[in-house]
């Protein structure tokens, strides 16, 4: 399988280079040259199949002959054995036609684990084959850092440095990063804000000498392997509910549009999908785009669902590329303009194509809190604020047939807000209950790029 850039200026690459490269050299995002498809019989066979086996089938369709089926299967088995629920992504029913898919049974209790666990194994495998070592540098405002640490701890060919803004993330979030004992993980509490951490990250990636000497890499959600890994649970949940004989609706709490786009990928691979509802908080760039046809950046507001406090959804470029009939010149024009103007007017034909599958809905803070309360009293399920955004969105969109709501975080990851809303204190699940007792290991550094770059070099070379 070959991968092309949405901006058309980079040459096509194989799966290995698309995964290890992340962003294409021309600034575009990698997409498969052609979407692989599954037959109806194949999709039906996913019902009741172990999750890791479906994952190996889906990822194998993209990896082609670059990874043997036996190696892919072994990596998927290992990745999903870290989940505390045997089904990996189990569902609970909360209404006559409504199900919640619990994506949070991974080691850091957020849906980022689903993709990061397999991504780490792919990295280690592909780098090992090339005799190469990489250093992953990551700036986190919460969930991504924990998922990355949990996934890459103990990796042989990858070292990870995670920066977080000191005192500005929750204790649970910090402890998921700082309690890893493995020597390939380093955590840095930066004296500054998340924006400072991101500026340092950018500076490090622009430093060619550092970049080459430590083979610097990023694991953000533009990596196509993360999208492919996320499309797996669209297949497993839909097959369990009667696909391909029944078309399913999905409701997805969205920020960078990786998760919702993964549903689109499953659809392009043959899964009958009726509608994908893109639920945002008041950072509503996606909701506005699908409603009005104008994709325009607004100010980022802090909300109860911080993982979705984003006003520029990187993966939207992939959908745009499809909606303009894979026209790279138009895609490059639109997204290069967006970088400076913060605005794209989606051409009418492309908007119609998007609206055939996607509906956008934005949910405010009060409604998010009310939805936590009403879901608990009506169904007995305690949901986190990100999931609540999606459950609330469902009430605004009339859907025909069965709907699956993607639940992206465990309520215990946001204990203060959840207990303030519901009066119930969410407990940490069994496997991580001793989180508060584990010793922490991290360094404190000033929010200064040169200091942190020197730290990264010393850690990578040490
Ligand atoms: C990252 C994240 C999201 C948003 O997912 P995108 O793929 O960026 O749209 C939603 N909920 C939680 C808890 C997350 O960590």
Q: Give the model confidence (pLDDT) of 51-95 as tens digits.
A: 999 999 999 999 999 999 999 999 999 999 999 999 999 999 999
Task: State yes or no: is 112 an active-site residue.
Answer: yes
Cα-based angle 30, 315, 337 (whole degrees, multiple of 5): 90
pLDDT digits (tens, 9 = 90+) for 398-409: 999 999 999 999
Dist CA 240 CA 89 (whole Å):
11
What pLDDT is attached to residue 143?
83
C-alpha 27/C-alpha 68 separation (Å) is 30
Residue 309 lies in a domain: yes
Taking the centre of ligand 1 as the mean of its atom positions, its distance from the CA of residue 1, in whole angstroms, is 28
Q: 44 CA to middle of ligand 1, Å?
A: 28
Index of the ligand 1 atom closest to the CA of residue 310: 8
Residue 19 pLDDT greater than 90, yes or no: yes
Residues of the chain with pLDDT > 90, as a percent, come to 86
Quick count: other Cβ atoms within 10 Å of Cβ 143?
24
Q: pLDDT tens digits, residue range 159-213?
A: 999 999 998 888 888 999 999 999 999 999 999 988 889 889 989 988 999 999 9
Average pLDDT over residues 436-444: 95
**Of 112, 159, 413, 453, which is the active-site residue?**
112
> DSSP secondary-structure letter at 153?
T
Within 8 A by CB and 6+ apart from 396, the residues are: 361
CB distance 261 to ligand 1 below 6 Å: no
Q: Measured in angstroms, how far is the CA atom of residue 256 from the centroid of ligand 1?
A: 7
Ligand 1, atom 1, residue with closest C-alpha: 307
Q: Answer yes or no: is the C-beta of 386 below 6 A from any ligand 1 atom.
A: yes
Q: Is the pLDDT of residue 23 over 90?
A: no
Domain assignment of residue 272, yes or no: yes
pLDDT at 169: 84
Decide if pLDDT at 446 tops 80.
Answer: yes
For 324-352, what is the mean pLDDT?
A: 97
| Token reading at 72 | 């892919």
Nearest-CA residue for atom 15 of ligand 1: 307
Mean pLDDT (whole number) for 31-38: 98
Domain count, the chain: 1
Whose CA is closest to atom 7 on ligand 1?
258
Apex 98 CA angle, 96 and 104, nearest 5: 140
- Rounded to 5 degrees, φ, ψ at 263 are -65, -40
Does 407 sit in the ligand 1 pocket, CB within 6 Å?
no
Of the candidates 54, 38, 409, which has an alpha carbon nearest to the alpha carbon of residue 255? 409
Q: Would you give the DSSP letter of residue 23?
A: B
Question: For the residues 358-375, what does the mean pLDDT come to?
Answer: 98
pLDDT exceeds 90 at position 274: yes
Q: Which atom of ligand 1 is nearest to the CA of 258?
A: 7
Write the CA distances from 41 to 46, 50, 239, 271, 274, integer angstroms: 9, 17, 11, 11, 19
Residue 141, in any domain of the structure: no
| Assigned token pair, 408 | 């992206």
314 Cα to the center of ligand 1, angstroms: 12
Domain assignment of residue 54, yes or no: no
Q: Integer distance in angstroms from the first to the last C-alpha of the chain?
A: 37
Report if residue 384 sits inside a domain: yes
Kindly report, residue by residue over 235-273, the tens digit of the pLDDT.
Answer: 999 999 999 999 999 999 999 999 999 999 999 999 999
Q: In what order do the strands lie in the sheet with 98-102?
A: 91-95, 98-102, 403-407, 248-253, 273-280, 358-362
Q: Is the CB of 221 under 6 A from ligand 1?
A: yes
Residue 33's SS3 state is coil
Tell me whether residue 289 is in a domain.
yes
Res 462: pLDDT? 87
Quick check: is 336 in a domain? yes
Mutation test residue for ligand 1: of 114, 148, 234, 386, the one with most atoms within 8 Å of CB? 386
Task: Tell me how far the alpha carbon of residue 327 lies from the centroid of ligand 1, in angstroms.
Answer: 28
What is residue 428's DSSP assignment? Answer: P
Please report how many Cα atoms fall inside a 13 Å half-sphere around the Cα of residue 160, on the Cβ side. Answer: 31
Q: Which atom of ligand 1 is nearest to the CA of 384?
A: 13
pLDDT at residue 355 tops 90? yes
Whole domain around residue 242: which residue ranges?
91-109+224-422
CA of 403 to the centre of ligand 1 (A): 19
Residue identified by tokens 């008041």 is 282
**CATH code for position 365:** 3.40.50.1100
333 in any annotated domain = yes
pLDDT attached to residue 452: 97
Please identify, by atom number, the ligand 1 atom nearest to the C-alpha of residue 413. Answer: 13
pLDDT band at 281 (very low <50, low <70, confident <90, very high): very high
Convert the pLDDT of each residue in 119-164 to its tens digit. Answer: 999 999 999 999 999 999 999 877 889 999 999 999 999 999 999 9
User: Quick one: which atom of ligand 1 is closest to the CA of 147?
Assistant: 15
């Amino acid at each position: 399988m070959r991968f092309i850039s949405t901006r058309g200026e980079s040459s096509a690459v194989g799966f290995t280079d698309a995964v290890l490269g992340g962003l294409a050299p021309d600034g575009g995002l990698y997409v498969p040259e052609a979407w692989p498809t599954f037959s109806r019989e194949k999709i039906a066979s996913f019902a009741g199949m172990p999750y890791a086996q479906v994952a190996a089938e889906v990822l194998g369709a993209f990896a082609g002959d670059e990874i043997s089926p036996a190696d892919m299967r072994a990596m998927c088995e290992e990745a999903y054995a870290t989940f505390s629920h045997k089904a990996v992504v189990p569902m609970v029913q909360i209404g006559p036609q409504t199900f919640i898919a619990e994506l949070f049974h991974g080691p850091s209790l957020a849906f980022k684990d689903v993709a990061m666990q397999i991504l780490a194994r792919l990295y280690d495998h592909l780098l090992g084959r090339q005799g190469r070592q990489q250093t992953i540098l990551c700036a986190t405002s919460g969930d991504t850092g924990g998922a990355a640490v949990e996934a890459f701890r103990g990796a042989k060919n990858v070292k990870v440095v995670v920066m977080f803004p000191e005192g500005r993330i929750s204790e649970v979030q910090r402890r998921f990063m700082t309690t890893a004992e493995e020597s390939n993980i380093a955590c840095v509490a930066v004296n500054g804000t998340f924006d400072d951490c991101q500026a340092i990250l950018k500076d490090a990636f622009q430093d060619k000498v550092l970049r080459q000497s430590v083979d610097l890499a990023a694991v953000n959600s533009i990596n196509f392997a993360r999208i492919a890994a996320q499309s797996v649970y669209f297949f497993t949940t839909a097959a369990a509910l009667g696909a391909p004989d029944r078309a399913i609706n999905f409701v997805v709490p969205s920020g960078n549009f990786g998760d919702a786009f993964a549903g689109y990928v499953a659809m392009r691979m043959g899964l009958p999908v009726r509608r994908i509802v893109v639920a945002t908080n008041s950072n509503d760039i996606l909701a506005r785009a699908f409603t009005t046809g104008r994709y325009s950046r607004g100010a980022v507001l802090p909300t109860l669902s911080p993982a979705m406090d984003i006003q520029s959804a990187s993966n939207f470029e992939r959908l745009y590329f499809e909606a303009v009939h894979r026209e790279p010149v138009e895609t490059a024009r639109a997204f290069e303009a967006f970088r400076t103007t913060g605005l794209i007017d989606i051409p009418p034909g492309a908007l119609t194509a998007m609206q055939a599958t996607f509906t956008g809905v934005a949910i405010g803070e009060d409604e998010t809190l009310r939805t936590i309360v009403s879901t608990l009293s009506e169904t007995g399920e305690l949901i986190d604020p990100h999931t609540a955004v999606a459950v609330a969105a469902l009430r605004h969109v009339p859907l025909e047939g069965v709907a699956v709501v993607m639940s992206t975080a465990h309520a215990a990851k946001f204990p203060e807000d959840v207990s303030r809303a519901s009066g119930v204190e969410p407990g940490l699940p069994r496997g991580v209950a001793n989180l508060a007792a584990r010793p922490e290991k991290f360094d404190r550094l000033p929010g200064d790029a040169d200091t942190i770059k020197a730290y990264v070099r010393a850690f990578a070379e040490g």
